[in-house]
Amino acid sequence: MNQQGFFSLMLATLVSLVTAQAPTEKLDKIVAKYDTKTAPGVEILVVQDGKELYRRTAGMANVEYGIPITKDSIFHIASVSKQFTAFAACLLEQEGKLNLDDDVRNYLPELPNYGTKITLRNLATHTSGLRDFYALNAMVGFTEADVSYNSQILQLLFQQKNLNFKPGTKFEYGNSSFTLLGEIVSRVAKKPLTEFLKERVFAPLGMTQTQLVNDPEFIIPNRAYSYYTQGGVLYKRLLGPVNVGSTGINSTADDLVRWSQNFENPKVGNQKLFQRMSERNKNSGGYALGQEFKSYRGVKIVFHGGGDAGYRSYLIRVPDEKLTVVVLGNSREFFPVDLAYGALDAFLFNGPAPEKPKPNFDPKLLTKFVGDYEIFPGNIVRLTTEKGKLYLQPLGDPNKMELPQVGNYEFDYPVFTHSRFTFGKSGNFKWQLFDIPYGGTRVHLKPFKPAQANLKELIGTYYSPELRDEYTLSVVKGQLIASHRRNEDTTLMPIQRDWYHGSSYFFGKVIPTRDGKGRITGLRGSTQGASNILFKRVPARRPLLLTAW
């Protein structure tokens, strides 16, 4: 080979290397943001057909002691745990020990009879209508840092007398359903879910660094701790609730790949079981049994994300390509979707999707979207249009944000990537926030002045038999205040007659109840995941007098 040919070959090789590395440039830049010895970080692992394509770690597993994240770091994977619970239920079904179409009360007789059947399938697809225990915990004053055990969570759920909606008619992502499904697996298997998963799933798959934890004091070697930032200062983000079924699994990226590869080359379960896990309910959208399905750039993917305290996790399987993407993090401010889908872009499509030419929009359509919408109970946003643009403004917020238009009926949510508003013919919208869809229902608010509300008639004490707890309402400096033994005071602002908006997230909406003579008899409090909790008006209780002895 002559010199010119040699240099041509070298140049071609260099060009080839640059081209091969270019698709991961975006991933490298995201990971590089966390490459520090003074803050939490991330891990990403991409494996195809057993071959490692990409692995990066950055940041600290333990900031206090300067311990970096490595491939052996163990993360709490939060809601990615749900697919393991669904898998366990399907294993028992194949053995003839339960049926996904059975009534939940066949296994949990303590659960109230709501006058309608809730099936195990409803539990596994978020279509049960059960109130979310995190919302209920918040109402009784438990924070994410407070320890609460599975037995306490179950007791709280067994006290609920009503549902958010009729089972099977709606998808509402929550955690109570999988807590109950985990309890059913334990009762049917006659052993704790922790033991069942270890014996039937983790051990056979060689997931030696994975365990379901049901004790907050349990020691986990190599555990990454969770953090959050506030006002530029880094803090620990404590995780108190000990919940199994909905969350609770701690694992490594390598172990999660082993789990994913089981769907390609089964060691536990079989194709019939995997097909069962892919079944969806009529109204569950892309959510099947503990896992989600959708098409990404024309390729079918199976995925689930998770977030508890400062932990973040994301697991994607691409069955047709035998590709797995695992993303783990230990900061509340970290959102794993950019890394996860960036990995798909890099290794399936050789780079991000090309930008589409901006289409021409019909400006007349914008006026159809103007109005007030309720997303969660009491969470109201106002949409307005100005100079050919659509703006969103939350209730009580003086600021508004532009929603960039990407289609005649579609608008991006600029706060987060992979999030979008889509308007339907009904006049309502669907808000796709990452993977979870939320509905925005148009509400017609009448002109109302807060001064029109008679706040004094609400003064009193209100007890909820479903929570076994109470709130006291008083008027302070012209404002209606709800006080609680643990929670901070909540201001209840009247926005319509007999409709109050709470300043605390756990009281998004409060509606007074009245008797035939119009007298206040109680309240119904609602928040995201828990609607119409009844509080009955009761005589004021005398303060407890403590005496020395």
Task: Give the tens place of pLDDT for each residue, 298-311.
Answer: 999 999 999 999 99
pLDDT number for residue 402: 96
pLDDT number for residue 58: 98
The 10 Å Cβ neighbour count of residue 414 is 12
pLDDT number for residue 7: 37
pLDDT number for residue 217: 87
Over the chain, what is the mean pLDDT? Answer: 92
The 10 Å Cβ neighbour count of residue 454 is 9
Tell me if residue 16 falls in helix, strand or coil. helix
pLDDT number for residue 4: 42
Tokens of 483: 């006080």
Give, to the nearest 10 degrees, the angle between helix 25-32 and helix 337-349: 160
With CA atoms as reference, report the closest residue to 405 among 425, 421, 394.
Answer: 421
Residues of 91-114 as b/e, b for ≥16 C-beta within 10 angstroms? bbbeeeebebebbbeebbeebeeb
Domains of the chain: 82-285 (3.40.710.10), 363-443 (2.40.128.210), 450-538 (2.40.128.50)
pLDDT number for residue 22: 66
Task: Give the tens place of pLDDT for each residue, 239-275.
Answer: 988 899 999 999 999 999 999 999 999 999 999 999 9
Helix, strand, coil percent content, the chain, rounded in steps of 5: 25, 30, 40
Residues, the chain: 549
Tell me if residue 254 falls in helix, strand or coil. helix
pLDDT in tens, the chain (549 residues): 444 443 333 334 333 333 444 689 989 999 999 999 999 999 999 999 999 999 999 999 999 999 999 999 999 999 999 999 999 999 999 999 999 999 999 999 999 999 999 999 999 999 999 999 999 999 999 988 888 889 999 999 999 999 999 999 999 999 999 999 999 999 999 999 999 999 999 999 999 999 999 988 899 999 999 999 999 999 999 998 889 999 999 999 999 999 999 999 999 999 999 999 999 988 999 999 999 999 999 999 999 999 999 999 999 999 999 999 999 999 999 999 999 999 999 999 999 888 888 778 888 899 999 999 999 999 999 999 999 999 999 988 899 999 999 999 999 999 988 899 999 888 899 999 999 999 999 999 999 999 999 999 999 999 999 999 999 999 999 999 999 999 999 999 999 999 999 999 899 999 999 999 999 999 999 999 999 999 999 997 655 444 444
C-alpha to C-alpha distance for 439 and 396, rounded to whole angstroms: 20
Sheet architecture: strand order including 419-423: 401-403, 389-394, 379-386, 371-376, 436-443, 429-433, 419-423, 410-412, 405-407
Per the listing, tokens 């701790």 go with: 225
Per the listing, tokens 């209780």 go with: 541
φ, ψ for residue 198, nearest 5 deg = -65, -45
Report the run of H or E that residue 27 belongs to, with start and end: helix 25-32
The predicted model scores a pTM of 0.92
